[in-house]
Amino acid sequence: MSNDLSAPSDDYPLSAEQIASYQRDGYLILPNVVTESELLPLESTFQRFIEGRVPGMGRDFCDMSGPYGRAFEDFNLVNAVLPRVYEPQLSGNVFERRAAAIARQLIGDDIALDYDQFLAKRPKRARAVFAWHQDLGYWPTGTPDTRTATCSLALDDATLENGCLQVVPGSHREAELRAHRPSAWSLSPELREEAHTLTVELGPADAIVPLPVRRGSITVHNERIVHGSPGNTTGGWRRTYIVAFRSQQTVEYERSIGFTHSHNDSINWKTHLQALELQP
Ligand SMILES: O=C(O)CCC(=O)C(=O)O
């Protein structure tokens, strides 16, 4: 795979309306971003990760719907973080390149790929829930420039029934980040050793919008939008390939303070300590 993120054939021009709607609502749905023939090689790499066939990942391979340490067969929401760290030949693939072209139009030209992630909801797992959150709630506080475009490619048609992404449109424009609390199953959250998941509460004014997408289409979301996804009640998988773009300077800054998005990092981030202070 090439590392050239600017090949002209990777363009996906957005209209002024699409760009304005991303700014207003905090998300976008874009159809047919990756073709069927382009999906196939990506999918075979994805499967190796999601089936637990890539060794040495530690907690970067986990169940995002529960505590670390579960047996693989008990994972509901299979999560492989930073796949390109473990398989560098993924770097520069067609989805990364096309998503970069989209992200440039949404947040500016000075972007770098911050992290990638594979997520798969097992069939008939009502507990394959991705808890409500804002991405910034997981990341270090104090990063000056937070611009982000997170692109999620559907490898299966995503529906409300199989647990598609849901958002609270406009929540990215709230003045303050919401309080993020450790998940209920985290026994000693100050160490964040048992589970990675943080969550926010929704209020009666929060209007939830599900984002169903067809295989090959993507959603893009802003770093402050409240989002999550429900369990999978169908007999099929819901598989998603995520790449997130932020400014080059932001990525360099966060790496310089030791933040890598890896669950194997042992640092307690200020954002998490703040969440603890906000606990009742
Ligand atoms: O696609 C999902 O189910 C959730 C993904 C998510 O929360 C994220 O990419 O930040």
The separation between the first and the last C-alpha atoms of the chain, rounded to the nearest angstrom, is: 50
* Chain segment 123-137, per-residue pLDDT in tens: 999 999 999 999 999
| Token output for 227 | 């989002």
Over residues 38-58, the mean pLDDT reads: 97
pLDDT band at 275 (very low <50, low <70, confident <90, very high): very low
pTM given for the model: 0.92
Q: How far is CA 9 from CA 49, 125, 139, in A?
A: 28, 39, 33
The CB of 153 under 6 Å from ligand 1? The reply is no
Q: Is pLDDT larger for residue 192 or for residue 149?
A: 149
| Token output for 215 | 């295989």
Cβ burial of 265 (10 Å; 0-12, 13-18, 19+) is middle
Residue 162 pLDDT more than 80? yes
pLDDT given for residue 217 in this prediction: 98
Name the average pLDDT for the chain: 90
Rounded percentage of the chain residues whose pLDDT exceeds 90? 79
| Residue found under tokens 């424009």 | 173
Residue 204 pLDDT more than 70? yes
Ligand 1 atom at minimum distance from 135 CA? 10
The closest residue, in CA terms, to atom 8 on ligand 1 is: 135
Quote the ligand 1 centre to 237 CA distance (angstroms).
Answer: 15
Q: What is the CA radius of gyration of the chain?
A: 18
The closest residue, in CA terms, to atom 2 on ligand 1 is: 165
Over residues 182-197, the mean pLDDT reads: 59
Residue 234 pLDDT more than 70? yes
- For residues 68 and 194, the answer to whether their CB atoms sit within 8 Å is yes
Determine the residue of 242, 243, 246 to mutate for testing ligand 1's pocket, defined as the one with the most ligand atoms within 8 A of the Cβ atom: 242
Alpha helices in the chain (DSSP H): 16-25, 36-50, 83-86, 94-107, 248-256, 270-277
pLDDT given for residue 196 in this prediction: 74
* Chain segment 93-126, per-residue pLDDT in tens: 999 999 999 999 999 999 999 999 999 999 999 9
Backbone angles phi, psi at 103, to 5 degrees: -60, -40
Q: How far apart are CA 63 and CA 190, in angstroms?
A: 20
The three-class DSSP label of residue 206 is coil
Sign of the four-CA dihedral 266, 96, 244, 152: negative
pLDDT band at 268 (very low <50, low <70, confident <90, very high): low
| Token output for 69 | 């340490």
Question: Which range, of 27-41, 126-140, 184-198, 225-239, averages the lowest pLDDT?
Answer: 184-198
Query: Which 3-state string (H, E, C) describes 51-76?
Result: CCCCCCCHHHEEECCCCCCCCHHHCC
Determine the residue of 115, 152, 198, 238 to mutate for testing ligand 1's pocket, defined as the one with the most ligand atoms within 8 A of the Cβ atom: 152
Over residues 260-268, the mean pLDDT reads: 83
Over residues 17-32, the mean pLDDT reads: 98
The closest residue, in CA terms, to atom 6 on ligand 1 is: 228
Residue 175 pLDDT more than 60? yes
The 3-state DSSP composition of the chain as helix, strand, coil percent (nearest 5) reads: 30, 25, 50
The CB of 135 under 6 Å from ligand 1? The reply is yes
Q: How far apart are CA 41 and CA 98, in angstroms?
A: 16
- The side-by-side arrangement of strands in the sheet containing 130-133 is 130-133, 226-229, 166-168, 209-210
Residue 273 pLDDT more than 70? no
Residue 276 pLDDT more than 80? no
pLDDT given for residue 68 in this prediction: 86
